[in-house]
A and B are shown apart, each in its own frame.
Chain A
Amino acid sequence: DVKVTQSSRYLVKRTGEKVFLECVQDMDHENMFWYRQDPGLGLRLIYFSYDVKMKEKGDIPEGYSVSREKKERFSLILESASTNQTSMYLCASSLTKGGGYNEQFFGPGTRLTVL
């Protein structure tokens, strides 16, 4: 079974802090994604990566950056956390072979609260 893990289930940070969210997948997937999930808005793509050291902006990249130094790990960074970044953050991974046919496998999510 594919396993996608996220470093924290719950996180509370203060405005202005630098926040790191970590995601690890164990199935050698090329693609990794970061979404935020908000009620009434569904999932919105922040960034995705299709290879090590490669990244592409999603729909809402402002205020976020990412890092992918190893194939299995994809980090989301909030350079200076703000209250409007309070949300559930979901990481996902998928294979490249087969293209858009491939399902995404999701982590359990990190519920981030910024005070």
Chain B
Amino acid sequence: AQTVTQSQPEMSVQEAETVTLSCTYDTSENNYYLFWYKQPPSRQMILVIRQEAYKQQNATENRFSVNFQKAAKSFSLKISDSQLGDTAMYFCAQTLNMRFGAGTRLTVKP
């Protein structure tokens, strides 16, 4: 089965610091898309950032960026200048097979 693995169930970071969430995946396809979604406490899941596998350039959205290593099948999320509102569950996803990781619970501490 093609899977998505998030090895960090929980993480914490001080406000204004940088944190990196890890994700690895398994696929035999050459062209696919990877996503990070955020689920704040008691709120709806929303898209954070997406990456197209055929693009070498890492995607960036304001304070959020990814480190995409296609050969290693690694797709980590870096959050810079962490804010209290970043506290949430973060899910890595590969939509080729609608597969999501188990999630990382991130807490930003004041």
Contacts and interface: CB of A to CB of B under 8 A. Distances in A.
Interface of A: 4, 33, 35, 40-45, 48, 58-59, 90, 92, 100-104, 106-109
B102 A42 contact: yes
With a 10 A CB-CB cut-off, give which of A59, A90, A100, A104 has the most chain B CB atoms.
A100
With a 10 A CB-CB cut-off, give which of B44, B50, B96 has the most chain A CB atoms.
B44
Contacts of A108: 43-44
Contacts of A58: 98
B91 to A, nearest CB: 6
Contacts of A92: 45
Nearest to B45: A106
B47 to A, nearest CB: 4
Contacts of B4: 42
Interface string B58-98: 00000000000000000000000000000000010101101
Nearest to B105: A39
B102 A40 contact: yes
A40 B10 CA distance: 11
B95 A104 contact: yes
Contacts of B6: 42
Nearest to B100: A43
A100 B102 contact: no
Nearest to A98: B33
B35 A103 contact: yes
Given A90-B45, A101-B33, A103-B35, A45 B102 contact: no
Nearest to B94: A100
B77 to A, nearest CB: 15
23 contacts: A4-B44, A33-B98, A35-B100, A40-B9, A42-B91, A42-B102, A43-B91, A43-B100, A45-B98, A45-B99, A58-B98, A59-B1, A92-B45, A100-B32, A100-B95, A101-B50, A101-B52, A103-B47, A104-B47, A106-B44, A106-B46, A108-B44, A109-B44
